[in-house]
Amino acid sequence: MKIIQISPYFPPHVGGVEYHVKELADGLARRGHQVSVASSCGRWTGEMVSIPSINLFYSPIPIKLPKFQADVYHSHIPSPLFAFMFRSATPHIVTYHNDVVIPGRVNGHLMPRSFAASLEKINERMVRPVLEEAEIVIATTKSYALTSPVLKDYQHKLRIVPNAVNVSLYPQVRKKENYVLYAGRMLSYKGVETLLFAMSEVQKRADLELLLVGDGYDRSRLEELARRLHLRAKFTGRLERSMFIDTISRAEMLILPTQNRLEAFGIVLLEAMACETPVLAFDTPGVSEVAENGGMIYSSTQELCELILDLHENELQRARLGAKGRRAVEENFSWKRALDCMEAIYQEVA
């Protein structure tokens, strides 16, 4: 089957959608499909079609589209312009990774709410025609799809295919060390501030360090907040892949504090669970559905503080949640299962 994966960005551009598309393309190619990737940037071992684009606010604008012939066209949004340009291609499948909710701060700059609301409305006006014409719309969790103001109107053509990780890359048995881990971009919408405030209370009652892996426009502001709170916190920046896996495998627990619907799944939760590292996540649709497979959810900074302390003091509970998470990844979030689901969808429409 000839399949074209259409994504605004592609690795080495950093992002969860980008790496999802790469793993999907790699897996389909290994299964014998003829796979091409169309993107504004990136490198790949297979056929890579570079589409000239103007990069604007995480949504590259394609200037010219080459002609394609394929059995299946598979677009990935939220950045809608590529999918919009391909909306008349048939059969067209769209993976809707998350809603577009403009945060109050973008690239370190305050974003007026009126302007943000206008951008959100423009995005929705482009997304809806894409979803109207698509044969099938894919979401990564049922809870996120049911609560999305956009996806709720396309339940009749919706399929659920969760994100996945390569389980074999993540070690099961590692001695846990005395730190709580955050891993992700240092951006305001990720909710790292709430984690810093929670840890300032935790460290008054427990000898537990905070390790923050990742980079972004708000890193210096977060480092300054950590200093003002007198936190024992280490900001590492981005880590090379093997070092990142080692770091996540040795953490007592991983925290995903995002409260914004831009975080629809949290692949880092799967990475922690694959390492038998328990997870804590804010109670938002999609993310909470994933986290409950290998950890717990919370709805306030105070509740997060208490959960961290409880887990820190209960090694048996950490081990139980860790083992539960690993089983869940092996059974429900492996790339074999994701590829099986995706192939069935392609065969349905091709």
Nearest 10 degrees: Cα torsion 78, 348, 27, 93: -20
Where residue 241 falls (left for φ over 0; alpha for ψ -120 to 50; beta otherwise) is alpha
Q: Which two tokens stand for residue 333?
A: 């979030």
**CATH classification for the domain delimited by 2-164+334-349, as one of 3.90.550.10, 3.40.50.2000, 3.40.50.720, 3.90.1150.10:** 3.40.50.2000
Q: Indicate the burial class of 316 (C-beta count within 10 angstroms; 0-12, 13-18, 19 or more).
A: exposed
Please give the pLDDT value at position 68. Answer: 82
- As annotated, the residues of the chain forming the CATH 3.40.50.2000 domain(s) are 2-164+334-349, 167-332
Please state the separation of Cα 175 from the chain's center in Å. Answer: 27
* Region for residue 58 given its phi and psi (left: phi exceeds 0; alpha: psi -120 to 50; beta: otherwise): left
Structure letter (DSSP) for residue 294: T
Indicate the pLDDT class of residue 57, thresholds 50, 70 and 90.
low
What is the rounded distance in angstroms from the CA atom of residue 35 to the CA atom of residue 38? Answer: 10
Region 328-333: mean pLDDT is 97
pLDDT at 207 over 90: yes
pTM equals 0.93
pLDDT at 170 over 90: yes
What is the Cα–Cα distance from 326 to 167, expressed in whole angstroms? Answer: 9
Q: CA neighbours within 13 Å on the CB side: how many for 34?
A: 7
Residue 210 has pLDDT above 90, yes or no: yes
**Mean pLDDT value of segment 115-142:** 92
The one-letter code for the residue type at 312 is H
The predicted-structure confidence for 216-268, as pLDDT tens digits, reads as follows 989 999 999 999 999 999 999 999 999 999 999 999 999 999 999 999 999 99
**Domain 167-332 - what CATH class?**
alpha beta
How does residue 134 score in pLDDT terms, banded at 50, 70 and 90? very high
What are the pLDDT digits (tens) for 216-228? Answer: 989 999 999 999 9
For the four alpha carbons of 99, 102, 103 and 105, in that order, the dihedral sign comes to positive
**R_g of the chain, CA atoms, integer Å:** 20
Smallest Cα–Cα separation from 86: which of 25, 131, 31, 46?
Answer: 131
pLDDT above 80: residue 173: no
- Phi/psi at 53 (5° precision): -145, 160
Cα–Cα distance list, 350 to 15, 92, 302 (Å): 29, 9, 51
Tally: H helices and E strands in the chain: 12, 17
pLDDT digits (tens, 9 = 90+) for 101-120: 888 777 767 878 888 888 88
Number of neighbouring beta carbons within 10 Å of residue 223: 16
Residue 28 in 3-state DSSP?
helix
User: Which is higher by pLDDT, 172 or 46?
Assistant: 46
Query: Do residues 272 and 322 lie in contact, with contact meaning Cβ atoms separated by under 8 Å?
Result: no
Q: Is the pLDDT of residue 123 over 70?
A: yes
Q: How far apart are CA 114 and CA 71, in angstroms?
A: 42
Sheet holding 179-183, edge to edge: 233-237, 209-213, 179-183, 253-256, 279-282, 295-298
pLDDT confidence of residue 292 = 97
Average pLDDT over residues 33-49: 93
Contact 130, 83 (CB under 8 A): yes
User: For the segment 68-105, what is each residue's pLDDT rounded down to a tens digit?
Assistant: 899 999 999 998 889 999 998 999 999 999 998 888 77
- What phi, psi does 71 have (nearest 5°)? -80, -30
Region 123-147: mean pLDDT is: 96
Confidence of residue 29 (pLDDT cuts 50, 70, 90): very high
